Amino acid sequence: MNIQSHKDLKVWQESMVLVEEIYRITADFPKEEMFGLTSQIKRAAIWVPSTSQKVAEEKEARN
């Protein structure tokens, strides 16, 4: 498997699908949850692709 960028990683691809789904679902949450539960769920969902990207970039920088 030839990985050119973090976007080639399966974990990044699958986590981005999850992020899109989370954003779609939380759009229907009550507005009073916008800065509470909704915000926490979105931050947790985006953590995986963000971390995957960071690790891939750090690994590339070392090579």
- The residue segments making up the domain with residue 33 are 6-62
How many domains in the chain?
A: 1
Residue 27: inside a domain: yes
Residue 57: inside a domain: yes
Is 53:6 a contact under the CB 8 Å cutoff? yes
pLDDT for residue 45: 94
pLDDT for residue 6: 86
pLDDT values of the chain reduced to their tens digit, one per residue, 63 residues: 677 888 888 999 999 999 999 999 999 999 888 889 999 999 999 999 999 888 888 887 887
Residue 17: inside a domain: yes
Residue 58: inside a domain: yes
Residue 1: inside a domain: no
Is 57:6 a contact under the CB 8 Å cutoff? yes
